[in-house]
Amino acid sequence: MTDPLIDRITPRRTRVGLVAGGLGAYWPQFPELLPQLRASARRVAARLSDLDCEVIDAGFVSDAQEGAAAAERLRVADCDLIIGFLTTYLTSSMLAPIAQRSGSPVLLLNLQPTEAMDHASFGTGAWLAYCGACPLPEMANTFRRVGVEFRSVSGYLEDERAWTRIGRWIKAAGVRAAFRHGRHGLLGHLYPGMMDVSTDPTLVSAQLGGHVEILEVDDLRVRVEQVTDAETGARMELARKVFTVDESVVDEDFAWGARVSVALDRLVADFGLDSLAYYHRGLDGEAHERVGAGFILGASLLTARGIPAVGEYELRTSLAMLLMDRLGAGGSFTELQALNFRDNVVEMGHDGPAHLAISASRPLLRGLGVYHGKRGWGVSVEFDVKHGPVTLCGLAQGRDGTFSIVASEGEVVPGPLLEIGNTTSRVDFGCDPGEWTDAWSASGIAHHWALGTGHRAGELAAVADLLGLDLTVVRV
């Protein structure tokens, strides 16, 4: 977990619209049916609320007119996901307008009261409470014909397997909302020669939504100059509580990183940023180069707060890190380091900002005189990723400019690590490291990605579905 000294941002809560329904012709014939179905609908609403989302409950509809009224309410609510609960049979005309007018992704639930009917005692009325599966193919056919994408979960009210799947869709809707409403900072310029990481900001807005804010190094430099000595000292004190400060750290560099950290917080607040990608080369220690060299402490603290900040102008990886963070997986800036054929692991990591929530122990603040392949000096964050299951996630881009998600699941295992100011890990993918590396590279991934904790392929499949992106899961 993130250090309690670091205040996590409070993201916008995922807004879920709920409508339950059944065919009104049944109510006069089976008086006990509607109260039972309404109770089931209340139970679904309660369980959805437990999934940390805001539920906009449009009530229970019994005919097409009531469906149209619910459609208007949910349209105005601007939901991130619309859930239609099929409590029994209902006609597609009751739900199609809701899906068409909202413009939101649609999830249909077929959750019968219990695991199975009691055939010996059930009559028609009791059976109808278990009949939510009946209209599901009708809804699927109708939605396809009217051009509305949908997905469904079938099970029973207290079926934890079903609720795990529902939870994935709620999380995926939260990621979609983070992109739709997100403001992503792009500061400085592209790292020279890295053709794979170049991204057209307009494509981000076109395919994912949100806005990319183009920032100048001077936007940060001016704010650095405004930071007081007292604010710098307070940030250094916070860093001492969060990190183990290695003896290699030079006080002057530590103070400068703390000063830049305070300024980064102000930059993010002033521009309302949800993520930040940056790079500036600079020359001969002038002001802009010094600002660029001072990012890592502040960017790591921002990332731990839920605002991914990443170097090398890696816009797509900052978005992948935001995705993983909103799934609760952390998500640290990562690339390949080396292959270990003796231990059958792939060694990966990166210097620069890291997600402190996925550290196996208290992170280290190390002093560096040089970064790999880049001019610079100062303090860098170093730690071993928590041992156990992990998922790599990157946002790839094809020849036509289309984004896709690339992922792979593995396990971080113990062993020797480089001590060079990097976040590092030894990942076992259950196969020959060389074969995995070839398959991973062939997927179209760029040379950076996010590494997060847990196996997340199922959740990423839901995210890709709601974003309309292809998903490639690399397995060898």
Q: What is the pLDDT of residues 255-314, one digit of tens each?
A: 999 999 999 999 999 999 999 999 998 888 889 989 988 999 999 999 999 999 999 999
Check pLDDT > 70 for residue 371.
no
pLDDT band, residue 384 (cuts 50/70/90): confident
Residues 334 and 310: their CA atoms lie apart, in Å, by: 10
Closest CA to 142 of 66, 61, 45, 64: 64
pLDDT score of 377? 66
**pLDDT at residue 67, rounded to an integer:** 96
Residue 88's CB is within 10 A of a number of other CB atoms, namely 26
Q: How confident is the model at residue 198 (pLDDT cuts 50, 70, 90)?
A: very high
* Residue keyed to tokens 């809701």: 98
Q: What is the pLDDT of residues 70-122, one digit of tens each?
A: 999 999 999 999 999 999 999 999 999 999 998 899 999 999 999 999 999 99
272 near 356, Cβ under 8 Å? no
Answer whether 383's CB lies under 8 Å from 364's CB.
yes
The alpha-helical segments, DSSP class H, found in 305-410 are 315-326
What pLDDT, on a 0 to 100 scale, did the predictor assign at position 435? 98
What Cα–Cα distance (Å) separates residue 69 from each residue in 23, 62, 63, 150, 467? Answer: 16, 11, 10, 21, 28
pLDDT for the residue numbered 315: 97
In Å, how far are 4, 319, 338, 411 from 450, measured between CA atoms? 23, 9, 17, 15
Average pLDDT (188-199) is 93
pLDDT band (50, 70, 90) for residue 419: confident
Res 55 pLDDT > 60: yes
Q: Which residue has the higher pLDDT, 383 or 204?
A: 204
The neighbour count for residue 176, using CB atoms within 10 Å, is 25
pLDDT at 45 over 60: yes
- Residues 107-140: b if buried by 16+ CB within 10 A, e if exposed: bbbbbbbeeeeeeeeeeeebebbbbbeebbebbe
pLDDT in tens, 395-418: 999 999 999 999 999 999 999 888
The fraction of the chain above a pLDDT of 70, given in percent, is: 97
Read off the pLDDT of each residue in 225-231 and give the average, rounded to a whole number. Answer: 98
Distances (CA, A) of 27 to 63, 123, 253, 339, 415: 12, 15, 74, 66, 66
> Which structure tokens are listed for 283?
């020359």
Higher pLDDT, 463 or 372: 463
Nearest alpha-carbon partner for 204 in 368, 317, 325: 317
Distance CA 392, CA 439 (A): 13
Mean pLDDT value across residues 25-37: 97
Q: Which pLDDT score, from 0 to 100, does residue 222 have?
A: 97
Task: Give CA separation, 152 vs 88, 149, 176, 203, in Å.
Answer: 15, 11, 18, 30
Q: Which of 332, 308, 103, 99 minimizes the C-alpha distance to 209?
A: 103
Per-residue model confidence as pLDDT tens digits over 427-465? 999 999 999 999 999 999 999 999 999 999 999 999 999
Distance CA 79, CA 42 (A): 19
Q: Are strands 81-86 and 106-112 parallel, antiparallel or unpaired?
A: parallel
Is 17 a residue whose pLDDT tops 60?
A: yes
Other beta carbons less than 10 A from residue 10's beta carbon: 7
Asked if residue 235 lies in contact with residue 259, where contact means CB atoms within 8 angstroms, the answer is yes
Which pLDDT score is estimated for 376?
55
Domains of the chain from N-terminus onward: 14-179 (3.40.50.10940), 182-473 (3.20.14)
Answer whether residue 375 shows pLDDT above 70: no
pLDDT of residue 354: 83
Q: What 3-state DSSP class applies to 430?
A: coil
Report d(CA 151, CA 140) in Å as an integer.
9
The rounded distance, in Å, linking the Cα atoms of 215 and 223 is 13
Share the mean pLDDT of the chain: 94
Comparing 8-12, 57-61, 251-255, 341-345, the range with the smallest average pLDDT is 8-12
For residue 11, the 8-state DSSP code is: P
Q: pTM for the whole thing? A: 0.94
